[in-house]
């Protein structure tokens, strides 16, 4: 049963996909981390290479900085179809509340607070970089289905086939019981062309603002998972082994952050671990930032994979004309 609430170019080849959701060690299991995506160095290089190839083919440049609105406003406006008033990529959010009739019935007020948490984090209001992304809640639905509620990963195809709405630029965000050891999972934008019907983010309903999961109840599980949906990797991706997460201003990190340490530096390369980054595994009360490099990665990934089809030719012409 589903009840609506409120108003509301192909490329050859295929990116190797891990099982959605991060492979965890025993130490991480105790702190209820966010997801279980495990990417090999080869998969990371493949995904980063795919991004560069698509940017070059669509826009004539693989330089992620070229999509910075402050540097090239005309190119950014064409590449993103940004809201001219706010100067941001505005992402419609369709929120799907999954319940088993007795548990999981998240009120709309908490959904609104979750979207507000996304906007604060991605807008730089928690202490990090403004990514140039904002979110607009367009619909909330409530679906009673015990199987989907208790096993959303195993029933992902049926659930998303029935409920998903919108295109590549619409965020479909689902709440259910993801688990105790894992609080969420997401798709990457590189996967959209191969399986558009399974595009979206699933989080444990207890991780929403004021939820029941201690230290993970400020809504930052969704912030983390939406980071994957927008093209970001973990800050600890492949430990100290290049290419890491492929972002220059997130120092290498050998292992995920647990809790909220005062300091942490686990790799010989310069820079302390980004323990306060939303793409690490720290407690919600420890997380506060995206970096400027991550903001550039988000904008480049949006232009490559999620911006409306048909803008690339105009953007490439503007890029080449300077």
Structure confidence by residue, pLDDT tens digits, 36-83: 456 788 889 999 999 999 999 988 889 998 887 776 665 666 566 555
Dihedral of the alpha carbons of 170, 217, 225, 200, in degrees to the nearest 10 = -40
Residues 17, 237: Cα–Cα separation, whole Å: 15
For residue 283, pLDDT over 50 is answered with yes
**CATH number for the domain running over 2-321:** 3.40.390.10
pLDDT computed for residue 15 by the predictor: 46
User: What mean pLDDT do residues 262-270 have?
Assistant: 93
User: What mean pLDDT do residues 191-212 have?
Assistant: 95
pLDDT computed for residue 256 by the predictor: 94
User: pTM here?
Assistant: 0.87
Give the percent of the chain with pLDDT over 90: 69
Cβ 108 vs Cβ 96: under 8 Å = no
pLDDT digits (tens, 9 = 90+) for 113-161: 999 999 999 999 999 999 999 999 999 999 999 999 999 999 999 999 9
Residues 238, 162: Cα–Cα separation, whole Å: 35
Q: Exactly one of 225, 237, 253, 258 is catalytic; which is it?
A: 225
Say which residue the tokens 């019907």 belong to.
197
Residues 124, 184: Cα–Cα separation, whole Å: 23
pLDDT computed for residue 320 by the predictor: 47
253 an active-site residue? no
Q: What is the SS3 assignment for 122?
A: helix
* Alpha helix stretches (DSSP H) within 3-132: 26-29, 41-59, 73-80, 108-122
Residue 168: half-sphere exposure toward Cβ, Cα within 13 Å: 22
The residue extents of the domains of the chain are: 2-321
Q: Is 42 exposed, middle or buried (0-12, 13-18, 19+ CB in 10 A)?
A: exposed
Residues 184, 145: Cα–Cα separation, whole Å: 18
* Mean pLDDT of all residues belonging to the chain: 84
């Amino acid at each position: 049963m589903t009840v609506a609430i409120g108003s509301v170019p192909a490329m050859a080849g295929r990116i190797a996909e891990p099982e959605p959701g991060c492979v965890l060690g025993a130490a991480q299991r105790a702190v209820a981390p966010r997801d279980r995506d495990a990417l090999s160095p080869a998969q990371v290089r493949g995904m980063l290479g795919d991004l560069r190839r698509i940017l070059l083919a669509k826009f004539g440049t693989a330089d992620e900085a070229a999509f910075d609105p402050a540097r090239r406003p005309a190119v950014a406006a064409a590449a993103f179809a940004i809201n001219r008033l706010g100067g941001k990529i505005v992402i419609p959010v369709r929120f799907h509340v999954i319940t088993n009739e007795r548990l999981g019935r998240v009120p709309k007020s908490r959904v609104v607070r979750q979207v507000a948490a996304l906007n604060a984090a991605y807008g730089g209001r928690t202490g990090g970089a403004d990514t140039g992304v904002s979110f607009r809640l367009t619909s909330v639905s409530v679906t009673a289905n015990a199987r989907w509620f208790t096993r959303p990963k195993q029933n992902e195809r049926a659930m998303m086939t029935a409920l998903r709405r919108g295109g590549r630029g619409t965020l479909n965000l689902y709440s259910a019981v993801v688990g105790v050891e894992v609080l969420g999972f997401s798709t990457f934008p590189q996967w959209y062309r191969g399986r558009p019907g399974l595009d979206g983010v699933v989080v444990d309903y207890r991780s929403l603002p004021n939820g029941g999961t201690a230290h993970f109840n400020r809504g930052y599980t969704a912030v983390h998972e939406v980071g994957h949906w927008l093209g970001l990797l973990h800050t600890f991706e492949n430990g100290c082994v290049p290419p890491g997460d492929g972002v220059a201003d997130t120092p290498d990190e050998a292992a995920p952050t647990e809790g909220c340490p005062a300091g942490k530096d686990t790799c010989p390369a310069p820079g302390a671990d980004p323990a306060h980054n939303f793409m690490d595994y720290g407690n919600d009360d420890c997380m506060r930032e995206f970096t400027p490099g991550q903001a550039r990665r988000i904008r480049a990934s949006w232009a490559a994979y999620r911006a409306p089809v048909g803008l690339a030719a105009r953007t490439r012409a503007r890029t080449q004309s300077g």
